[in-house]
Amino acid sequence: MARKISVVEDEPALASLIEYNLSQSGFQVQLLNGAGATVRELEAARPDLIVLDVMLPGQDGFEVCRRIRQSETLSRTPVIFLTARGDEIDRVLGLEIGGDDYITKPFSPRELVARVKAHLRRSEADAAPQSGALTFGPFRLDKAARRVFQNDREIELTSTEFRLLEFFLTHTGTAWSRERLLQEVWGEQHFVTPRTVDVHVRRLREQIEEKPDEPVRLVTVRGFGYRFETP
């Protein structure tokens, strides 16, 4: 069965171009214009991936993404942002609120298709049957259910955050450079940058550290990268 891609884009010409290229690559495409009912329409469609424009009429894509991440149905669905705003602060904001990727207009349709395929391959690997729960100190990681608990509290994570925390938990005490983390966690997604690692580490700290600005578990190795400690 064809994988379903929902495209939230209010420019008809660009939406048609995206639809054509994704359809030619074998995907089933749903086009949405970003109106107020967008999240409800996405929940009804249950897409495998969402392509989301930042500049939408009446609401911006960042707010839509926040609501997607709060949705029980869509919380772990990959989101690729499209935007004409290429400033680093906008890219970082998109990642911080739960986006998985960020493409700046104008872009090559082939690049968009390549990124969609890369994220779907990663999602398929995440969904593959895994062994049962693993315990690491106060953390219990259930790979089959894609759930993480710290003591008795469940930690709500996106798929990328889950992979990153899983990697750290299974490699405690070792210092990892940002570039190596990109290879190990993001794999073939060569479009991401070392800055992406910093954003996701910050989001993990907000979930697992008592004082995110003074981390004792996920610590910075100055001038190099990060290390996960088991205090």
Based on the fold, state whether residues 28 and 89 are members of the same structural domain.
yes
Domain endpoint, select from 108, 127, 146: 127
| Rounded Cα distance, 184 and 221, in Å | 18
| Predicted local confidence at residue 123, as pLDDT | 74
* Domain membership of residue 36 as a residue range: 4-127
147-150 and 139-142 beta bridge pairing: antiparallel
* Same structural domain, 46 and 14: yes
DSSP labels for 16-53? HHHHHHHHHTT-EEEEE---TTHHHHHHHH--SEEEEE
Does 26 share its domain with 120? Answer: yes
223 pLDDT more than 60 = yes
**Residue 32 shares a structural domain with residue 73:** yes
Quick one: 13 and 88 in the same domain?
Answer: yes
Residues 177 and 69 in one domain: no
Of 127, 159, 191, the domain-final residue = 127
Query: What pLDDT band is residue 24 in, cutting at 50, 70 and 90?
Result: very high
Sign of CA dihedral 17, 23, 24, 25: positive
More confident residue, 47 or 126: 47
* Res 88: pLDDT: 66
Quick one: residue 213, left, alpha or beta (phi over 0 = left, psi -120 to 50 = alpha)?
A: alpha
DSSP state letters, 127-167 = HS----EEEETTEEEETTTTEEEETTEEE---HHHHHHHHH
Task: Mark whether 150 and 65 lie in a shared domain.
Answer: no
Tokens found for residue 131:
């062994």
The residue count of the chain comes to: 231
Amino acid 80: pLDDT: 93
Question: How many domains does the chain divide into?
Answer: 2
Q: Element (H or E) spanning 228, and its range?
A: strand 225-228
Mean pLDDT computed over 155-172: 89
One domain, residues 70 and 89: yes
- Confidence band, pLDDT 50/70/90 cuts, at residue 128: low
Task: Name the helix (H) or strand (E) containing 83.
Answer: strand 79-83
- For residue 2, the model assigns a pLDDT of 85
Residues 37 and 103 occupy one common structural domain: yes
Residue 98 in this model has a pLDDT that exceeds 70? yes
- Say if residue 20 is in the same domain as residue 74: yes
Average pLDDT over the chain, rounded to an integer: 87
